[in-house]
Each structure stands twice: as C-alpha cells, then as structure tokens.
Amino acid sequence: MNSQKKTALVTGANQGIGKAIAKKLAENGIQIIGTSTSQKGVEKINQYLKNDGYGLILNLKNSKSIIQGIRKISQNKSIDILINNAGIKEDNLLIKMTEREWNNVIKINLTSIFYLVKQVLQSMIKKRYGRIITIGSVIGQIGNKGQVNYSSSKSGLIGFHKSLALEVASKGITVNIVSPGLIKTDFIKNLNVIQKKKYLSQIPMKRLGNPIEIAESVMFLVSEKSSYITGHTLHVNGGMFMV
C-alpha cells in the first residue's frame, strides 16, 4: 500500500455497486480496502484490484467483526474515505415479517453504519479530512410494499447522515448519501418479469441504472469538486423520485 495515496474502505466490494465504486476510486488514484463476507469474495476483490489495494472479510451483522476489522486495518493505515455500500433486503409483508427479518435488515443496513463510522471518525478528525458516503435507496423515500424493514433502514440513514454532517462539518469531514433507484445487480435478480415491467413504468428514463452510474456519483462526492456539499442525499434514479 502506498502511503502517499488516500485510502478508502468500501464495504461489499466483491460485486455489484460496491465493485463498481471500488474500481472507479482505484482508477482515480485511491487505494482500496474492499470487504466481503466470504473468502471467495475477498479473492475476487484481490483479483480486480491488483496493486490498488486488497480484500478483507467483514461481516456487518456482527459489531465485534466490524470493530476488530477496522482495528486490524488501522495498525498500518488510517481510512480517509468510508464508503458504506453493503446492504441486504429480506422482504415480507409486515403482517408476516418475522423479528429475525426485521432485525437482520436493520442491523446490516443501519446499525453497522454506527459502528463503522465510530471506528474511523477519530482519525478523520485528527487529520481534519474525511469523506463518508453511504448508499441509501429510493425506497427509503417512497416506501414499498413488503419492505418496511428495508425502507426503515434506508430512511433511518438520512437522519443519521444529516446529524453526523452537522457534528463534523467544521472538521473537514463531509457526510453524504447516494440514493439509487433500480440498478442492474444481483440485488434485483429475483424480480419477475411483471415486477420489472411495473418498476420500469415508474422510471421516466425507461431503463434500469448501471452500477457505474452510482460509482460516478460517489466519485464526485469523494472528489474536491464536492468540497462544499455535506448532509446531502444525491438521487440517482432516472427520474423515479425527485425532491
């Protein structure tokens, strides 16, 4: 790892949006620590990052894993940029939703951010520099049948990021959300043709987004071009939702 370069931690970097973000940041001279829940995922990350960083196992379900993982990284490197990308959905109508389905989604999509940010904030404050960017979702704004857990987790992020942005605005740290609409990844692979058609009818651009279109927005918020933007949610959704 090059000590002159900035370092980004990207969660869920083995596939989908996280992989596109990690590759885009690496192309822009940032070294990456990318996480996955499996060894196979870590190998995939190492394969595409080559000399631009490395993969690490991290399970966001487990707060101890987060704390230990970041402590391990911090022995050699301090994190300048935190990209909270990893996320899950476990859909069910509320009437049938189990406590486990509720807790899993809230834990991984929302509570993990509390632990991740706490672990990196001290060193960002010391350096008087930091970028914290989290991947939200249009569902956090508009809701969706069968997703009260997912929608709550993603809208909870908005309050978290606005409040944190206020706490650290004077310390050189910006805190923002990129909120995708429907993006072509494994996350939506189980949608059937009828569901896809229904979603497409709600997207003025009449197409799904590509992971690179999220990665470009994240890169903008990482770059100096966005130095005066904080506490913001950037919607990247083909016109599906406008503020």
Ligand X SMILES: NC(=O)c1ccc[n+]([C@@H]2O[C@H](COP(=O)([O-])OP(=O)(O)OC[C@H]3O[C@@H](n4cnc5c(N)ncnc54)[C@H](OP(=O)(O)O)[C@@H]3O)[C@@H](O)[C@H]2O)c1
Write the interaction track for ligand X spanning residues 122-161; mark x where CB under 6 A is met and - where it is not: -------------x-x------------------------
Residue 88 is a binding residue for ligand X (CB under 6 A): yes
- CA–CA distance, 31 with 49 (Å, rounded to integer): 9
**Torsion sign across C-alpha atoms 113, 114, 115, 117:** positive
Active site (annotated) includes residue 54? no
Tokens for 26, please give them: 């690496």
Residue from 2, 38, 68, 122 that binds ligand X (CB under 6 A)?
38
- CA–CA distance, 138 with 155 (Å, rounded to integer): 9
Residue 108 is a binding residue for ligand X (CB under 6 A): yes
Burial per residue of 168-194, b for 16 or more beta-carbon CB atoms within 10 angstroms, e otherwise: beeeebbbbbbbbbbbebebeeeeeee
Query: Is 11 or 226 the residue whose CB approaches ligand X more closely?
Result: 11
Residue with tokens 């944190």: 164
Please work out the total of residues on this chain that contact ligand X, with binding judged by CB under 6 A: 29
Residue from 7, 9, 11, 226 that binds ligand X (CB under 6 A)?
11
Q: Which positions are catalytic?
A: 150
Q: Residues interacting with ligand X, by CB under 6 A?
A: 11-12, 14-18, 36-38, 41, 58-61, 85-88, 108, 135, 137, 180, 182-183, 185-188
